[in-house]
Amino acid sequence: MSAFLSNCEIKSIKLWLSKMQHYKDKSKSERANKAEAILQLQHKMIGNGRNRIVYDLNNRYVLKVAITKWGIQNNKTEFKIYKHCPVDLREHLFLVKEAGHGWIIMEKMQVEVPDEIYDKGLIKLKNKFLDAGIKPKDMWKSNMRLSKKGKITVVDYGNFIILK
């Protein structure tokens, strides 16, 4: 049951996950294309990485669907980190609204981080994560957005490592 996805959409995700293993040796774009074809979601796909594809739900949220086993783990990691990290660190993570096997729904932010804010804040933010027992990985500017409060916020933290 989901507040954001219909039962039909959840069934489509389950169908894709059941077939996903057949495409493990395909390129990133081939996997994403095959996933999109099988999923047939009525949302616009706005991006894809090595392990997940992202859909715009047109309600200030995005849906990330795994396209590899690592993508499933990335979604689990994002959910776990968001739900269990200190509150002051949570303001630097995209809000997780909902998650299920192979998918996660997160807040959508579009404001890119200006170079000067990124350059000044990156080391401080990395240290904040480390102090909380989380090793931040993939903290590229492309994985960051600026919150309404002007805070650097991490879009993709599925590869972060929980140390504690």
pLDDT above 90 for 1: no
* Percent over 90 (pLDDT), the chain: 95
pLDDT digits (tens, 9 = 90+) for 17-69: 999 999 999 999 999 999 999 999 999 999 999 999 999 999 999 999 999 99
Contacts of 91 (CB under 8 A, 6+ apart): 147, 149, 151, 153
Q: How many CB atoms lie within 10 A of CB 43?
A: 16
- At 68 the pLDDT is 96
Could you give all domains of the chain from N- to C-terminal order, each with its CATH number? 7-107 (3.30.200.20), 115-162 (no CATH)
pTM: 0.94
Distance, CA of 149 to CA of 161 (rounded, Å): 26
DSSP state of 93: B
Note whether 56 and 44 are within 8 A (CB). Answer: yes
Distance, CA of 67 to CA of 23 (rounded, Å): 9
- At 126 the pLDDT is 96
Q: How many CB atoms lie within 10 A of CB 45?
A: 17
**Mean of pLDDT values over 132-139:** 94
